[in-house]
Amino acid sequence: MCRLLAYLGEPLPARSLLFDTDNSLVRQSYSPRMMNTFLNLAGFGMKAWDPTSLHADEPFTYRTTTLPTFDRNLRFFASKLAPTCLVAHVRATTYSGEGVVADTNLHPFHFPGTRVVLAHNGHLRQFPRMRFALVEHVDPALAQRIEGTTDSEWIYALILSQLDDPYGVPDTRELAEATANALRILREVRAGHGIDTSSPVNVCVSTGRSLVATRFSFDYGWYPPADEMLETDLPFVSLWYAIGGEYARRDGDWRMSGDDPPRSLIIASEPLTTDSSSWLEVPEYSMLTAELGPGGLEFETRDLDV
């Protein structure tokens, strides 16, 4: 499975999230602690919002099919950027002739003219069987923008299509409802095609001011014989978060300071430190929502019943 990371809060050096901790996102690309059989070697992508930059509502973009571990340009870039919101992703694909490593398959997905981005950790089993049944649920103009071969890009187009204005800036509530509605449609389409194989859908969706994340799986634990992805799904696809004031190194250890109301939130497939005592595991079948407000971070955890 892929590894994803999202941050929302006060300006924070991107390097602190991507490189500096002992289980940083870049380290998870080649040595993930919570996966035994799969590496994330199919590329890296990032969207980052910096309110001090020109056109602050447009995120910085960095995507490459090379390994982030050896990417000096990414390291230099991360040392100079201190975003208030970041969505980053290291991609995995199966070791087979069917996997496609290409720029068009890199996360986070962000169609031109839209204001929402998405990163996905998961795998919709038997997706080719259901792909074209999703067309009737996707705005035709958005369907034409799908360039890659992944289920993730279709999930992104499906979520955008649930918004009142796919090219506008939805508030947190609308973004959360659009994400939940997309999951409901996926469940209905899967059922219509008799697909009942375990399929995790952990997503992070953001506008730069709002963030929505899910820890979810369709038909969890149900696998056909000799499924090659079984070991990557068990235990349940992981998702963790740290929330508080400032994420920084203190006495040699990275941790989030306490603050009420909170000012910063990190969501990640794995804690960014080997010591996970300051991290909270996202409950199964739940959704996290967060929004930057004048008084701090408005944060909520809710059950995801779709």
Each residue's pLDDT tens digit, 147-171: 998 999 999 999 999 999 999 999 9
* Rounded percentage of the chain residues whose pLDDT exceeds 90: 73
For residues 282 and 239, the answer to whether their CB atoms sit within 8 Å is yes
Kindly state the average pLDDT of the residues 182-199: 95
Please report the pLDDT score of residue 66 as a whole number. Answer: 85
Residues 6+ apart with CB under 8 A from 273: 21, 22, 23, 253, 254, 255, 279
Kindly state the average pLDDT of the residues 69-87: 94
Checking if the pLDDT of 30 tops 90, the result is no
Please report the pLDDT score of residue 40 as a whole number. Answer: 56
pTM, two decimals, is 0.93
28-32, 58-62, 157-161: least confident range? 28-32
Q: What is the DSSP letter of 105?
A: G
What's the pLDDT band for 222 if we cut at 50, 70, 90? confident
Checking if the pLDDT of 130 tops 80, the result is yes
Nearest one of 153, 180, 156 to 166, comparing CA atoms: 156
Task: Report the CATH number of the 3-122+201-303 domain.
Answer: 3.60.20.10
Please report the pLDDT score of residue 103 as a whole number. Answer: 83
Checking if the pLDDT of 78 tops 60, the result is yes
What's the pLDDT band for 123 if we cut at 50, 70, 90? confident
Q: Nearest 5°: CA angle at 59, between 55 and 61?
A: 125
Burial class (CB in 10 A: 0-12, 13-18, 19+), 87: buried
Please report the pLDDT score of residue 102 as a whole number. Answer: 73
Distance separating alpha carbons of residues 19 and 6, to the nearest angstrom = 14
Please report the pLDDT score of residue 168 as a whole number. Answer: 97
What's the pLDDT band for 230 if we cut at 50, 70, 90? low
* Stretch (H or E) spanning 3: strand 3-8
Phi-psi region of 286 (alpha: psi -120 to 50; beta: other; left: phi over 0): beta
Please report the pLDDT score of residue 92 as a whole number. Answer: 72
Which two tokens mark 263?
């000012």
Distance separating alpha carbons of residues 269 and 240, to the nearest angstrom = 6
Burial class (CB in 10 A: 0-12, 13-18, 19+), 249: exposed
Q: In terms of residues, how long is the chain?
A: 306
Instruction: Return the SS3 of 122.
Output: strand
Q: Before 128, cis peptide (omega within 30)?
A: no
Please report the pLDDT score of residue 231 as a whole number. Answer: 52
Cross-strand bridge partners of residue 46: 62, 88
For residues 21 and 273, the answer to whether their CB atoms sit within 8 Å is yes
pLDDT in tens, 264-280: 999 999 999 999 999 99
pLDDT in tens, 94-113: 555 566 667 899 999 999 99
